Structure 1
């Protein structure tokens, strides 16, 4: 186990207990049966999974779009990588969740971004850009392959491998650009703190830790108020965390925060990540993946699906004049592949109804783009097959038992394969919410886990300052953040964080970044006098 250094970032570290790195566990364990696909033995069961996944969950038809911008699909992936990491489980044997180590801390603390901090992992930080006392608190940023040097990328080694807190955030270009944007948001926050007239009165470490707290709190706020609120049933969301909107007792100094769903998930004394969440409920995002994504106008040369790229191309696909055939990561950002963010989230500059691109609905109809997953036990690796198989090997309970345990009336007329908890949650969303958000079981598990993560973390904004919003952060008496999202003045969205980070949002910004101008030549050296 890694031990804290003298100067570790204490407010954002998991307490060093036996569960320091967290463990996987169950919400529904003793007394529940385990779901198994139909068949006499493992070979027949595996074939049943394959046939159902391929024949029932994939088709040549394009899945219908939802009302959720595509960026939230990958924000969800970024969040997942912040709270769970299981490099030990196997798809080829049964696994005991209580014996699996979760190598992510079970908190929304951006350890996938900050790692263990500047003392333990200094290579994540920019030694060429230091604060007034020499402290290296800015996250290190790299550049992509564009010869102009204007397209930022994650920092990488000579082999193109990203040097970041969690390598999974380089699985595809969209999530890697999100990782980059959050890193740039931290750097922008720290720079504003460092530019304040009174900055010299504080140490560089103090400025860094303040910037880290603000960035983490902004992120936590967005996870709950902008992401979870979109993907769970509104009634379940309101039940999980309820605020007294009247300011407490007749407007007095006491305000109330009421928590629900503690009986579903509570980790405050023994941190763990439920496999019903990580293996089933939270994999709803796989059904939201589109067949293709358009990155930006100059790269594509037009508007329409014919100009888009899939996350994973078929194995025999070859690069074309527009660069790589797909959006998988693992190498330097190809030239002109930076995202134009108003094509991914709903910005004021988004040109509707074309942009932002919309995620597919949450249902049992998956895009062909996830039919060939690069890593897996077989040659084709349809994602649906991998997910169902994982739930079987993790010995998850049948969906009907889970619904009854949550006091929810289960769907009727289920086939044996639809008792798979992951399949059920997709089917439930399609039938109960027309695929716009999760249904009753999925919403309850997801809302319970996320509210529990915030509730159980003594350093979360919800515990330290429950009514905090980004508007509360001031520098020199001026707002630290600009709010560009509309609606309620107290409701902030991820587009506000992206704007703060300085990534290209609209057409003008992306065209300036992707300019075809060659880099300026190095100046000739001055002649040495004889």
Structure 2
């Protein structure tokens, strides 16, 4: 969570002075990092996010200082207690972190930018093939050999797993249960009982304890499918054991990715999207912003999605989680400890003790133990402090979300809604905040509600919002704030799922990929059974049943049931 790369308000100021480079002139559009683009198209100046009617330009020092002040004040207003009924019965807490894994399968920044004074030079999104589980598989055993181990043959075809250790035991007392990711140490620290290296394809997935446990589940998933293929599928041999192993690996990887997409469509999106928006996209409403470059590896993620609307998940984070029966509610592990329980921050506490492994029904079943927090314009002090780290001057998570969003010079919420109204306007009727005229930048339909909310939540200490600040923010709110506001403050939604505008943008990105991207040229983006049959026929000599039964895995809980004893607490693996 705290290791996410960021574009900050300071990004455009500092790289040029230190490197002798000439920055773009004020008023010129900022260059977009490779692998990113704006949603729909590049907004013109009248359509960009603005401060008091002036399109925000982070290259202008006075504008940058004003924006920094506003975003910090807005983050302060969002730092308050949740509603009286804060938990979301619609979304168990595990989905918060599955959403993070999905984000990693959409965006992989080439650099980790620092939290402050960060430079975008060299930044790009190198995830050119979205939603193919590259965040789990990487480039495969040839490109990422450290993430794989040998199976029955000489080819590294199985994703690695690591042993947990009994509670209270140091190293050398492993329990033998494969319920952690694999971890290692360099030869230069051979005698040091630390494991600072996570042997996974995407190092971001060891950012914290919950996310790495999600990775364990997917590693077991791949291994079980591969084991079943080797046991039950008798395909014609190519006469080369490596070629045979590679063929099975490719088929298994494709099956995992197709099932992953089915889970996203049938489970994740069903929970987070506004029901009217999901119904429209399932019925075939045209994609407003069709993805480009999926066939040749030049796909680009929309900035307004990745740095704006998709940040809603940060509102869903709890203060504590009960991982397993050893931590009965109301006890549990605090979010600050969870965020640093990884190889990078706590190598001396790796591999995981048994008490840090997850009993999955607590995170994905309809169990009140770890329900997520309702989506809304609120944050929590312990999370902000954990992300900020030791330096109190560093921005917290909410400030970083807000400044990252506006630093990309995105669409204003009003202009984006106005552009979408031409094709998706009927859906606006389901929104409390999009039903009025959208042509006046000074008087958007949500102006009164946002103004009232900001006045009610002015911080009583520190940097307080002035009436002028409230007018500016209410007329042109930053995207991450609006996404959380329209979900949390609409009485018909009450934070149980996303608001209409956020749902449209999120759905458009996901359904665009699901409809347009073809794995192994497999057709039919809806019928998982047919997709799996096509993969089987393609790889295994016209045999169509290699993955029979896997078409039933369309939710996280059905995936958990399939993997079964391998991830069951406390004797899995």
478 and 166 in structure 1: CA distance in 2 versus 1, 3 angstrom threshold? closer
Q: Residue 379 of structure 2 corresponds to which residue in structure 1?
A: 366
**SS class of match (1:297):** coil
Q: Contact conserved, 1:82 with 1:112, CA < 8 A, in 2?
A: yes
Please give the alpha-carbon distance, in whole angstroms, between the structure 2 residues aligned to 1:145 and 1:345: 25
CA contact (8 A) 2:108 2:127 kept: yes
Q: What CA RMSD, in Å, does the superposition of the two structures yield over aligned residues?
A: 3.3
Match of 1:58 in 2: 80
Deviations 1:465-517 (A, max 9, x none): 6312499669996975579xxxxxx6821111123234666xxx424459xxx
Whole-Å separation in 1 of the counterparts to 2:178 and 2:35: 38
Residue 236 of structure 2 corresponds to residue 180 of structure 1: no
Q: Give 1:223 shift.
A: 1.1
Paired residue for 2:37? Answer: 25
Query: Which residue does 1:144 correspond to in 2?
Result: 164
Structure 1 unmatched ranges of 5 or more: 1-20, 243-257, 314-323, 484-489, 515-530
Shift of 1:171: 0.8
Greater share of helix:
2
Aligned mates of 1:78, 1:149 — CA distance in 2:
26
Cα deviation, residue 458, structure 1: 2.2
Shift of 1:44: 3.8
**What is the CA distance between 1:37 and its match in structure 2?**
5.4
Residue matched to 1:312:
336
Question: Secondary structure at 2:385's aligned position in 1?
Answer: coil
Q: Is the 8 A contact 1:142 1:155 kept in 2?
A: yes
* CA deviation vs aligned residue, 1:80-115 (integer Å, no higher than 9, x gap): 011102244676579889x85212234111111111
> Which position in structure 2 is the counterpart of 1:85?
108
- CA 453–428 in structure 1, closer or farther in 2 if over 3 Å, else same: same
Choose the corresponding residue for 1:213, options 242, 254, 257. Answer: 254
Q: Is the 8 A contact 2:524 2:531 kept in 1?
A: no
Confirm whether residue 417 of structure 1 aligns to residue 481 of structure 2.
Answer: no
SS in 1 for 2:184: coil
> Is structure 2 residue 448 aligned with structure 1 residue 405?
no
Structure 1 residues 46, 500: CA separation in 2 closer, same or farther (over 3 Å shift)? same
> Is the 2:272–2:498 Cα contact (8 Å) retained in structure 1?
yes
CA contact (8 A) 1:276 1:396 kept: yes
Asked whether 1:240 is paired with 2:281, we answer yes
- TM-score by structure 1 length? 0.75
Segments of 5+ residues of structure 2 without an aligned counterpart are 1-32, 53-60, 167-172, 186-194, 239-243, 422-427, 429-433, 435-444, 451-469, 537-542
Query: Any conservation in 2 of the 1:372–1:381 contact (CA below 8 Å)?
Result: no
Q: Supply the distance in 1 between the matched residues of 2:279 and 2:120 (Cα, whole angstroms).
A: 34
Quote how far apart the aligned CAs of 1:276 are: 0.3
Equivalent residue runs for 1:124-139 within 5 Å? 124-127=147-150, 129-131=151-153, 134-139=154-159
After TM superposition, give the deviation of residue 417 of structure 1 in Å.
3.0
Partner of 1:247: none
SS in 2 for 1:463: coil
Question: Does 2:555 match 1:493?
Answer: yes
Tell me: CA distance 1:461–1:426, structure 2 relative to 1, closer, same or farther (3 Å): farther
CA distance in structure 2 between the partners assigned to 1:161 and 1:62 by the alignment: 42
Q: How many residues align?
A: 445
What is the TM-score of this pair, normalised by structure 2? Answer: 0.70
Give the equivalent residue in structure 2 for 1:526. none
Shift of residue 144, structure 1, vs aligned partner: 2.9
Report deviation, 1:55. 3.2
